[in-house]
Amino acid sequence: MPPLADRLRPKTLDEVVGQRHLLAPDMLLRRVVETGQIPNLIFYGPSGVGKTTVASILAKQAGKTLHRLNGTNMSTADIKAIVGELDTFAGMGGVLLYLDEIQYLNKKQQQSLLEFIEDGRITLIASTTENPYFYIYNAILSRCTVFEFKSVPSAEIAKAVRRAFAVMEQDKGRTIRVPDEVVAQISTGCGGDVRKAINAVELLALAAREADGELTVTAEDAAAAAQKSAMKYDREGDEHYDLLSALQKSMRGSDPDAAVHYLARLLEAGDLPSVCRRLMVCACEDVGLAYPQIIPIVKASVDAALQVGLPEARIPLADAVVLVATSPKSNSAYLAVDAALADIRAGRSGSIPRNLQNKHYDGADNARKGQFYKYPHGFPGRWVAQQYLPDALEGREYYHFAENKTEQAAKTYWDAVKRKSEP
């Protein structure tokens, strides 16, 4: 008999537990699926939350020849076999490739799919438990839409747990007494992983004790079955994102002790990619121009960590976290680009000034012919006053020097240069 989790696998999107932010009737993914046109998709999220199930449901609705591959054991030859089918009768309507664990494919294997994804002969639905922006080739990402699957809330898992116990009762032909505290223990202790919760139900039902003529599942047994999921719950649930937030805010707040503490908790949960991403963001956003050399230093630490993997990755990451936490801070460039983006999004832009344009021909309607660009290197101090912003934004200031040694040194330098150049 197949495992209980396989027997309970949903057959329609409405049966999927959780993921309402993607699958509710008014959500984007649901609306796309209902059109009958399946685009290239990447499903990203922790294990046991419905990625494979949803992909399987979509594949059945696509009306195309379906192939399934798993990145953990596939080879380039497997991809070539699918490509070889495209010009045959079986591939006339197109091929849908469901690729599980795509993060295990190397760059060459991923590149071999590009041409066929581009021209539509292969529709790709891929799933991954790792951040796709770290593990999937950029050219593949640019041709796919990424949807993030989240850990399933315990209230939703509880429904699946009760249904699983009901099926086990049918299998055994006997009533199984399941206290509410057992359902709660499994639902909250399996880290948002529906498959793990159902596996726990199957184990507990098989091992249920006889008491007063009926089978009973105890809270102690439920705790033992779910205890291995506690760290996964911390890593993938709300606390996971709280830890990432605490790590960045501790580095931003220049507290190396707190920063190292949260780093250790995240590494113990095994989330190396998220730590690396948050470190890079913090180096650029919070240290920034106060110590601009930190950006390549942190990047080198992140590269080293990803190359050696855990547990050794903790060493370069600790170096980087302490460096970021103890470095001077400036968000001046971050504020500048956000202010510029706000103007662009509000429609405030205007034409590029004539002196900056990359053209050398003036039409007959231009009364003042010529580009009039002043080459800064031809002037004292390598600077000359001229207009760079569009007319509509002339005089607008986005960047303001922050009060740190590096930026104040730059300000002093340019103030002196510009004063000398004044007529």
What's 355's domain CATH number? Answer: 1.10.3710
3-state SS string for 234-252: HHHCHHHHHHHHHHHHHHH
Asked, for residue 387, whether it belongs to a domain, the answer is yes
User: Which pLDDT does position 232 carry in this prediction?
Assistant: 47
User: Which pLDDT does position 230 carry in this prediction?
Assistant: 45
CATH number of the domain encompassing residue 175: 1.10.8.60
CATH number of the domain encompassing residue 260: 1.20.272.10
Q: Is the per-residue pLDDT at 94 higher than 70?
A: no
Q: Are residues 55 and 117 in the same domain?
A: yes
Q: Are residues 141 and 174 in the same domain?
A: no
Q: Is the per-residue pLDDT at 231 higher than 60?
A: no
Q: Is the per-residue pLDDT at 237 higher than 50?
A: no
Asked, for residue 10, whether it belongs to a domain, the answer is no
Q: Are residues 221 and 270 in the same domain?
A: no
Which residue among 231, 259, 277 closes a domain?
A: 231
User: Which pLDDT does position 321 carry in this prediction?
Assistant: 96
Residue 186, helix vs strand vs coil? helix
- With residues binned 3-state (H G I as helix, E B as strand, rest as coil), the percentages for the chain, rounded to 5, are 55, 10, 35
Asked, for residue 137, whether it belongs to a domain, the answer is yes
Domain span holding position 260 = 237-326
CA distance 27 to 184: 29
Assigned token pair, 100: 């599980």
In tens, the pLDDT along 11-41 reads 888 888 888 889 888 888 888 888 878 889 9
In tens, the pLDDT along 109-165 reads 888 888 888 877 788 898 888 778 878 888 888 888 999 988 888 888 888 888 888
284 contact partners, CB below 8 Å, separation of at least 6? 295, 334
Asked, for residue 333, whether it belongs to a domain, the answer is no
In order, the DSSP letters of 343-407 are: HHHTT---PPPGGGSS-----TT-SS-S-----GGGSGGG------S-GGGTT-------SSHHH
Asked, for residue 205, whether it belongs to a domain, the answer is yes
What does the chain come to in residues?
A: 423
User: Which pLDDT does position 236 carry in this prediction?
Assistant: 47
Q: Are residues 300 and 394 in the same domain?
A: no
Which residue among 120, 148, 176 closes a domain?
A: 148
Q: Are residues 313 and 379 in the same domain?
A: no
In order, the DSSP letters of 112-176 are: TTHHHHHTTSEEEEEEESS-HHHHS-HHHHTTSEEEE--PPPHHHHHHHHHHHHHHHHHHHTS-E
- Minimum mean pLDDT range among 177-186, 213-222, 254-263, 365-374: 365-374
In tens, the pLDDT along 272-322 reads 888 999 999 999 999 999 999 999 999 999 999 999 888 899 999 999 999
Asked, for residue 1, whether it belongs to a domain, the answer is no
Asked, for residue 304, whether it belongs to a domain, the answer is yes
Count of domains for the chain: 4
User: Among 38, 35, 83, 30, which residue's Cα sits nearest to residue 60?
Assistant: 38
Task: Using pLDDT thresholds of 50, 70 and 90, give the confidence band for residue 328.
Answer: very high
Instruction: Please state, in angstroms and as integers, the Cα–Cα distance from residue 2 to each residue in 17, 59, 356, following that order.
Output: 20, 22, 69
